[in-house]
Amino acid sequence: MLASAKIECEGIPLQNLWLLMLYASDFRYQAYQLSGVEELDEHLADLVGDVLCNQVLRRLRRRLSYGYRHNKAELNRIRGRIDLLETNTKLLLLKGKVACRFEELSINIPRNQYIASALNKCLMLAKNQALKYTARKLLNEFSILGVQAMQHCVYHPADDQFSRHEAEDKKLIATAELMHQLALINESVGGKWLPAPYKQTYWVRRLFEKAVGGFYSVHLDKNWSVKQGKKLNWQIEQMTSNVASLLPGMEVDIFLENKDLSRRLIIDTKFTAITKENRFGSETLKSPYIYQIFAYLRSQEHCSDLLSLSSEGMLLHPSMGETFRETVVIQGHKLHFNTVDLSQPAKVIRSELLSLIQGQ
């Protein structure tokens, strides 16, 4: 009998969701040492909050970034553009005024509001009282400077453009974004999250994929090359005029390579049960997933690239309380079918993910 590896509705511990968010975020690329973060468990929010407060303290030693904000006002002189409709509707000319729309240089810009809001989230999530005190003090400093901690700040870090001299701002925003995400999970799911394969959402699948790739980029040694979202090319020998635009692209979730060990591994993450029940009542692996990972391997074979001839593939699924470890070799390529139990303590999850690579 195959061990069932379905995602049951017992719920993933909240700290494990936070851990996934940590590895999926840009926070992992910063200088902070993440090697022992799994041992922090539910205090992960304190870790992020501590980094956030330290970064804000360093940033406040210099003047915060300024930017232009759209503004409107009733003025005694023209500034920017005249709002003719409002001017005529309110008969402002009779009062010696004119309605204007203009831009002004301000410190109360969305970027700074986003950081202030992250400090507010830190107050909500942190358990360490000293950390709470520091966050509250920094919030007061932002308020004195004129920056408001908006409840709903219209700011998207991915859309912001950072210049060369704003490297510190970029790191700070990455940490603030993670704090917002931790708070969002906390507010949305309470103490437990109850995922089900038939209710999965795109962001959940992407979170699991990015978290696994981020984990390996942090914990595998420097001999391993870790790439996420690597695009693979079809080895086309001849084609008609329209084929190039019709062929679908190939993009692998995680691409691992270690030339010293002569290993290349393609990991495809799926946030579903790894097996399904067939019409006879027994469990089988899902055919489309096998076809997909096998296509990734065989389509890249070339005699000039020896690793491509023996590359491995892995289907990695989450599970709740179940372990699934199966391997098969097909036409020279080893295929692994594995799960990682997200109901376990974070330290055990780390050990499992490493063993999947080092123990194969």
Q: What is the pLDDT of residue 47?
A: 80
Cβ neighbors of 331 (< 8 A, separation 6 or more) are 298
Question: 123 is written with which tokens?
Answer: 């107050």
Residue 14 structure tokens: 């909240």
Q: Of 35-49, 181-195, 215-229, 237-251, which range is least confident?
A: 181-195
Taking every pair of Cα atoms in the chain, the longest distance, rounded to a whole number of angstroms, is 88
Do residues 219 and 263 share a domain?
yes
Whole-angstrom distance, CA of residue 297 vs CA of residue 1: 28
Closest CA to 41 of 347, 353, 354: 347
**Same domain, yes or no, for 153 and 215?**
no
Given a cut of 90, is residue 306 above it in pLDDT? yes
Q: How many whole angstroms separate alpha carbon 207 and alpha carbon 200? A: 11
Q: How far is residue 181's CA from residue 114's CA, in Å, rounded to a whole number?
A: 12
Answer yes or no: is pLDDT of 36 > 80. no
pLDDT at 198: 40
Q: In this structure, are 20 and 87 located in the same domain?
A: no
Structural domain that includes position 85: 69-98
Q: Is 80 helix (H, G, I), strand (E, B) or coil?
A: coil
CB 193 within 8 A of CB 12: yes
Helix and strand numbers, DSSP H then E, in the chain: 11, 13
**154 and 179, same domain (yes or no):** yes
Low-confidence winner among 3-12, 155-164, 257-266 (lowest mean pLDDT): 3-12
Q: Is position 34 within any domain?
A: yes
**Alpha helices, DSSP H, located in the chain:** 14-24, 44-60, 84-89, 110-125, 129-145, 167-189, 202-219, 243-246, 287-298, 306-309, 346-358
Q: Does 3 reside within a domain? A: no
The mean pLDDT of 334-357, rounded to a whole number, is 90
Crossing angle (nearest 10°) for helices 110-125 and 129-145: 160
**pLDDT-based confidence at 34, cuts 50/70/90?**
low
The CATH number linked to 209 is: 3.40.1350
Indicate the DSSP class of residue 25.
S
d(CA 254, CA 269): 8
Structural domain contains residue 337: yes
The residues facing 192 across adjacent strands are 13
Domain end residue (candidates: 43, 78, 98): 98
The answer as to whether 288 is a domain residue is: yes
Look up residue 38 and give its amino acid.
Answer: E
| 8-state DSSP, 37 | G
Pairing of strands 225-232, 98-106: unpaired
Task: Please give the model's pTM, rounded to 2 decimal places.
Answer: 0.72
Confirm whether 4 is domain-assigned. no
Q: What are the tens digits of pLDDT across the range 72-119?
A: 889 999 988 999 999 999 899 999 999 999 888 888 888 889 999 999
Is 7 within the bounds of a domain?
A: no
Average pLDDT, the chain: 83
Compute the 3-state secondary structure of the chain and give helix, strand, coil in percent, each to the nearest 5: 45, 20, 30
Query: Edge-to-edge strands of the sheet including 98-106?
Result: 67-75, 98-106, 81-82
Together in a domain, 232 and 339: yes
Most confident of 38-47, 60-69, 149-158: 60-69
Here the tokens at position 245 are 């635009």
**Tokens describing residue 258:** 């270690």
Domains identified in the chain, total number:
3
Please say which residue of 127, 156, 190 terminates a domain: 190
Pairing of strands 12-13, 225-232: unpaired
